[in-house]
């Protein structure tokens, strides 16, 4: 699949929310500067066309991927936009550290959304050329529960490395991580983002940065082992940060919910999104190439929610 990188301004449809506000339907997303937050607001914009939703409202709720998994149902969050690796980790409970009580088998898929690029950023004037050059260097990660940290841990596992092979510091805000990298306070930042995220792209221009490539062997091992990763050939419009790459590691994201979520509401949300898909694609550039085949692809173990499956069967898609 060709990954087109479109640098357009974000349309701000997201609204600030709180998990304690039980009057509104809540969609858990990434932090305010993440693509998923804006897309969550865009879905809410369409969702409000449903009569039952209009009376309650719908809000995007910023947080981490791990937090969103735990907040589904338990803290009043009805849906969440998660990277596919976190969906799989939550449903299977494969990370005992993150899921000490075991699998979250109540998680259910609704539909797929945008892809994000997995990178490790360094300063352009550094001597680092490949991922292996970073061993024993100083890295800054997001906190537990973030996409970048989860992906980085999987990379280390595949290399038979551990966190002890690096000097690790933690910073919540990715924009501050980029500032620290530009200032020479750290050597590299593992990074997972959509290049359609204008605020992130602007931050990347703060100094001259580049992404060091993963070997084709490492990417092949990850794609072969984990169905939610893909090797994507770059478009000619690829941003200068990825200069020298011929392809990148990407991970999909999608909207999920929990098994006991009202089937009628899930059905109506899915119906509304697909009947207004062209409108949704115009609301955020990360969704510009979104299509039915990708939205229904089976790259994770989570079963579809009955409300979503009902609509797909009506359309003879499943």
Are the C-beta atoms of residues 69 and 86 closer than 8 Å to each other? Answer: yes
3 or 206, which is more confident = 206
Among the ranges 47-56, 152-161, 171-180, which has the highest mean pLDDT value? Answer: 152-161
Of the candidate ranges 17-26, 76-85, 243-252, 270-279, the one whose mean pLDDT is the lowest? 17-26
Rounded CA separation 285/302 (Å) = 27
Rounded CA separation 291/178 (Å) = 33
Write down the pLDDT at residue 56. Answer: 86
Write down the pLDDT at residue 199. Answer: 61
Where helices occur in the chain by DSSP H, the ranges are 35-47, 51-54, 65-71, 84-92, 147-159, 174-182, 198-204, 216-225, 263-275, 277-283, 292-295, 306-314
Instruction: Return the DSSP state at 201.
Output: H
Write down the pLDDT at residue 21. Answer: 44
In the predicted model, what is the mean pLDDT of residues 55-84?
A: 90
Each residue of 266-318: pLDDT tens digit? 999 999 999 999 999 999 888 988 999 999 988 889 999 999 999 999 999 98
Q: How far is CA 156 from the centre of its chain?
A: 19
Nearby residues of 82 by Cβ (< 8 Å), 6 or more positions away: 65, 68, 69, 90, 253, 254, 256
Rounded CA separation 304/312 (Å) = 10
Rounded CA separation 318/315 (Å) = 8
When pLDDT is cut at 50, 70 and 90, the band that residue 216 belongs to is: confident
Write down the pLDDT at residue 108. Answer: 97
Of the candidate ranges 39-43, 196-200, 245-249, the one whose mean pLDDT is the lowest? 196-200
Write down the pLDDT at residue 80. Answer: 97
Write the burial class of residue 115 (CB in 10 Å: 0-12 exposed, 13-18 middle, 19+ buried). Answer: buried
When pLDDT is cut at 50, 70 and 90, the band that residue 5 belongs to is: very low
Write down the pLDDT at residue 275. Answer: 94
Write down the pLDDT at residue 1. Answer: 41
DSSP per-residue codes, 15-27: ----TT-TTSEEE
Each residue of 84-139: pLDDT tens digit? 989 998 999 888 888 889 999 999 999 999 988 888 889 989 999 888 899 899 99
How high is the mean pLDDT of the chain? 83
pTM of the predicted model as reported, rounded to 2 decimal places: 0.84
Which residues, in sequence order, are bridge partners of residue 170?
A: 141
In the predicted model, what is the mean pLDDT of residues 150-154?
A: 84
Write down the pLDDT at residue 6. Answer: 37
Are the C-beta atoms of residues 312 and 298 closer than 8 Å to each other? Answer: no
């Amino acid at each position: 699949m060709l990954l087109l990188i479109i640098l357009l301004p974000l349309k701000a449809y997201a609204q600030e929310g709180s998990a304690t506000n039980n009057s509104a339907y809540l969609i858990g997303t990434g932090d305010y500067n993440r693509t998923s937050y804006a897309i969550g607001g865009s879905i809410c914009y369409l969702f409000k066309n449903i009569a039952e939703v209009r009376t309650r409202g719908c809000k995007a709720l910023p947080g981490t991927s791990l937090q969103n998994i735990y907040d589904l149902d338990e803290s009043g969050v009805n849906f969440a936009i998660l990277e596919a690796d976190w969906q799989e980790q939550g449903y299977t409970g494969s990370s005992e550290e993150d899921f000490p009580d075991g699998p979250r088998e109540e998680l259910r898929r609704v539909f797929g959304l945008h892809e994000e690029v997995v990178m490790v950023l360094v300063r352009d004037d550094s001597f680092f050329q490949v991922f292996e050059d970073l061993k024993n260097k100083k890295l800054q990660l997001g906190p537990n529960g973030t996409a970048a940290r989860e992906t980085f841990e999987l990379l280390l596992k595949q290399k038979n490395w551990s966190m002890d092979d690096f000097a690790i510091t933690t910073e919540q805000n990715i924009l501050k991580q980029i500032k620290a990298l530009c200032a020479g306070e750290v050597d590299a930042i593992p990074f997972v983002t959509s290049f359609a995220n204008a605020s992130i792209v602007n931050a990347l221009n703060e100094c001259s940065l580049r992404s060091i490539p993963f070997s084709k062997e490492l990417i092949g091992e990850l794609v072969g082992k984990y169905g939610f990763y893909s090797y994507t050939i770059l478009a000619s419009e690829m941003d200068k940060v990825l200069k020298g790459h011929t392809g990148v590691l990407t991970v999909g994201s999608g909207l999920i919910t929990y098994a006991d979520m009202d089937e009628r509401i899930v059905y109506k949300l899915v119906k509304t999104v697909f009947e207004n898909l062209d409108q949704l694609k115009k609301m955020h550039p990360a969704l510009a190439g979104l299509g039915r085949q990708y939205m229904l692809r089976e790259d994770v173990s989570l079963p579809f929610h009955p409300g979503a499956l009902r609509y797909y069967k009506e359309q003879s898609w499943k």
